[in-house]
A and B are shown apart, each in its own frame.
Chain A
Amino acid sequence: MRENAGTKSANNTACLTLSNITIRLGGRMLIALTAGIAPGEVLTIMGPSGSGKSSLLAFVGGFLDPAFDAGGRVLIGTRDLTEIAANQRHAGILFQDPLLFPHLSVGGNIVFAIPAAVKGRSARRRLAEAALDEVGLGGFYDRDPDTLSGGQKARVALQRVLVSHPRFLLLDEPFSKLDAALREQTRELVFSKARSAGLPTILVTHDSADAEAAGGRVIEIGMEEQG
């Protein structure tokens, strides 16, 4: 088999706990939520746009705009992340857009995400090449990310997140901009990788097909707020 690119190991994963989370904007309650997400499990938050589902991801990731009022605790295992800066949380985030860094090569994007603990230029490069290989992008290391197709970019973005050894995954409608055929494929890939890496995952989406494919619990929000 190929060299393990470090994107599959299921070590050091723990349950992600959202305890009494409340997010308000200008006095209006957007979200009130308590949930535990086991390693490899996907929790789907469904809601229309503007319902505040992305602000939940921002809160868990540590980059919620100060205009929001948020309360509650976020824990990974027994460790409380609530007061910890975003760069100490090790949240793997996938947005609607792949957001590959345009100033780096495809491989450079992956190397950038590999933890500093992996020392040595050649070791880091080997790891990145293996990660690309895993998703059928062997030989793409030196390419300009802007020359990739939408599906290829999405796969690079996924591998980039996984090599960074996140403690949990935050998916912000990552499939909504892909066309139908590609969407199914990419979903499959993302969920299987998240599962095999044993990552607790939060998916926010307004597409019920996403929720079905995720196969986990689904929480719908923002419906009663319409009136």
Chain B
Amino acid sequence: MARPTEVRRTSGGNALLAFILGLPVLAGIAGTVLPAFGYLPALGGSRVTLAHIAELAGQPHILRSVLTGLAAGLLTTAGAISIVGAFVAGFAGTRLFARIQHLVSPLLAVPHAAAAFALAFLVAPSGFLLRLISPELTGFTRPPDWPLPNDPFALTMIAGLLVKEVPFLFLVTLAALPQLPLIRARRLAAALGYGRIAGFAVCLWPALYRQIRLPVFAVLVYSVSVVDVAMILGPKLPPTLPVRIAQWTGSPELGARFLASAGAFLQIGVVVAAMAIWIVLERIGKAVLERLIFSGRRLARDGALRAAAALVMTACTAAIFAGLGLLSIWSFAGLWPFPDALPGSLTSKTWMRTLPQLRTSFGTTIALALCAALLSLLFTILLLYRNGTAAGQRNPGYRLLYLPLLVPEISFVFGLQVLMLSAGLLPGFASVLAVHFIFVLPYVLLSLSAPWQALDPRFERIAAGFGKSALSILFTVRLPLLLRPCLTALAVGFAVSVSLYLPTLLIGSGRLTTITTEAVALSSGGDRRVIGIYALVQGLLPFLAFFIASLGPQLLFRNRRLMRT
């Protein structure tokens, strides 16, 4: 009886979601593809031509740019899934698992750029790691002439991506684990004599992988198309294709836009190729697993592999936090000649000098992040409220959330910029906010939808029995009870917005600078101390947001014990 209305409400909400997330993505792709073939009336291109594609093909070392990015993305994804898979297989359900979970979770909040800087400051030839062992072990009294962190094989870049993608995949896996019969399968596999990792792989991995497949593809697309991390840690001569596209889009020459469009179009092809290769890899993995099952080998002695997995998981956290600590030391460092592990003196001079110029972009960052997070939270609540609780996460509409994460951002955001400029819209706060909203919304929705479904429905039934209207129940029962998850979702949105580089750069057309765009701009040849300040502020802003979010319930519900835990 209640069924027809349920269905109608759900599809209405999803149509809205499809509209909000799908339209900009499709429009952006159109705005990329058309100019790639010469069609951009605003710039006098009205004839379809292959000239720009040819120009792109003629760019020096273009193939190398394409292949480095593609390989780096594939290796990052394969590495992240292996690390997370081995760790989860080896430790899910143990106490160490919970401990490492607490270590890794905060990494999600660190923006990619800040994490990349943290790593760069560690591994550079004049970086902390080498200082620690120089000159005693290495004999270096001057920084060696190593191509680090921008090594031509993109190894540093892969490491920089890994430290961020491992926590992401890990948390996604955590969300999927409760739906697996973990304890029963573990006992069964152990009784048959399987090692922990092999037992998990045989009994649970296929079901687990099916659930995290979409996020894995999101990781793949992101890693293949990343710009900010590649600018900070990636190869320089030549840079990866996405970085070159970003450079072309910033070129004052108007003709470069056509070249950038052709590049962004090519990037779509690179992502499709990456997906195709990944699907082949999935098949191979499946075949290997089937052989393993068929062979009956138990692989019981997996202690070393398990230890390695736990070590790498911990190392991700250690690297980022050591790097963030290092950034703060650099920002206060006076004279700090090479082999010294610590600066000779500390001074606040760099901060005093940098703070005035940091103020504007700091304000813009906060305003953008707050607005984008609030808008996303409002929309998320509206959507979840309309969809009701009955539909649940089985609801296929939630898969749409991954749409902006499965299209390379450089391709569709650049297209959006082209369309915007063609339509005569001026780059400014509102347009940048709009594009931030598209990227922030999926994360806010993902963050809030689980607690939303988990709220005991009986609270609302009791309230309905009191004759309260649905809207009144939303405001007097559901939202107060979900205050903490709402604030967390807000902080998640804030963190995502702070970390956005490319959308801010492209849609803002350089006129709207945030801490992130400034920090990345400084990466080539900037003063280490100033970079330290920008990267530190960028890295700490999300933590500040989560901290404030955690205070909310304490302050608002001082006398309500259950609301504070």
| Residues in chain B near residue A40, CB distance under 8 A | none
Could you tell me the distance in whole angstroms from the C-beta of B77 to the nearest C-beta in chain A? Answer: 38
Check B465 against A112 for contact (C-beta < 8 Å).
Answer: no
Kindly identify which residue among B390, B459, B473, B477 contacts A65, using a CB–CB cutoff of 8 Å: B390
Q: Report A-chain residues with C-beta under 8 Å of the C-beta of B467.
A: 87-88, 90, 115-116, 164
A99 and B458 contacting across the interface, CB-CB below 8 Å: yes
In the complex, A93 has a CB within 8 A of chain B:
yes
Of the candidates A102, A144, A147, A166, which one forms a contact with B465 in the assembled complex, judged by CB atoms under 8 Å apart?
A: A166
CB < 8 Å A-B pair total: 86
A82 closest partner in B (C-beta): B1
User: From residue 83 to 101 of chain A, which have CB atoms closer than 8 A to chain B?
Assistant: 83, 85-93, 95, 97, 99, 101
| Complexed CA–CA distance, A64 and B6 (Å) | 12
Across-interface contacts of B3 in A (CB, < 8 A) = 66
Q: Which residues of A contact B476 (CB under 8 A)?
A: 112
Is B464 in contact with A146, judged by CB distance below 8 angstroms?
no
Residue in B closest to A66 when the chains form the complex, CB atoms: B3
B348 within 8 A of A: no
Cα A118 to Cα B479 in complex, Å, equals 25
Cα distance A61–B557 in the bound complex, in angstroms: 31
- Which residues on the A side are within 8 Å of B457 (C-beta)? 63
Q: Is the CB of B458 within 8 A of A95?
A: yes
Question: Do A164 and B465 touch (CB < 8 A)?
Answer: yes
| Interfacial chain B residues near A62, Cβ < 8 Å | 464
CB distance from A212 to the nearest CB of B (A): 26
Quick one: CB contact mask for B451-488 with A, threshold 8 Å, 1 for yes?
A: 00000111101111111111001001100110100000
- CB contacts (< 8 Å) of B456 on chain A: these are 99
A103 touches B557 (CB 8 A): yes
B477 engages A101 (CB within 8 Å): yes
User: By the criterion CB–CB under 8 Å, are A146 and B561 in contact?
Assistant: yes
Knowing A66-B3, A102-B560, A144-B559 are in contact, say whether A89-B458 is a contact too (CB < 8 A). no
- Contact across chains for A103 and B2 when beta carbons are under 8 A apart: no
Given A64-B2, A99-B459 in contact, is the A146-B465 Cβ separation under 8 Å? no
Q: Does B367 contact A (CB under 8 A)?
A: no
Task: State A90–B481 Cα separation when bound (angstroms).
Answer: 23
A161 interfacial contact with B, CB 8 Å: yes
> B144-178, CB under 8 A of A: which get 1 and which 0?
00000000000000000000000000000000000
Q: Are A63 and B466 in contact (CB under 8 A)?
A: no
Asked if A101 and B557 sit within 8 Å, CB to CB, the answer is no
> Which residues of chain A are within 8 angstroms of B483 by Cβ–Cβ distance?
103
Q: Is A102 touching B458 in the complex (CB atoms < 8 A)?
A: no
Residues of chain A within 8 A (CB-CB) of B469 are 87
Give the CA-CA distance A65 to B165 in the complex, in Å: 39
- A130 close to B (CB within 8 Å): no
19 example contacts (A-B, Cβ-Cβ < 8 A) are as follows A62-B464, A65-B390, A66-B6, A86-B464, A87-B465, A91-B465, A92-B465, A95-B462, A101-B459, A101-B480, A102-B563, A103-B481, A103-B557, A103-B560, A105-B559, A144-B559, A145-B562, A161-B465, A164-B466
| Interfacial residues, chain A to chain B (CB-CB below 8 A) | 61-66, 70, 82-83, 85-93, 95, 97, 99, 101-105, 112-113, 115-116, 144-147, 161, 164, 166, 170
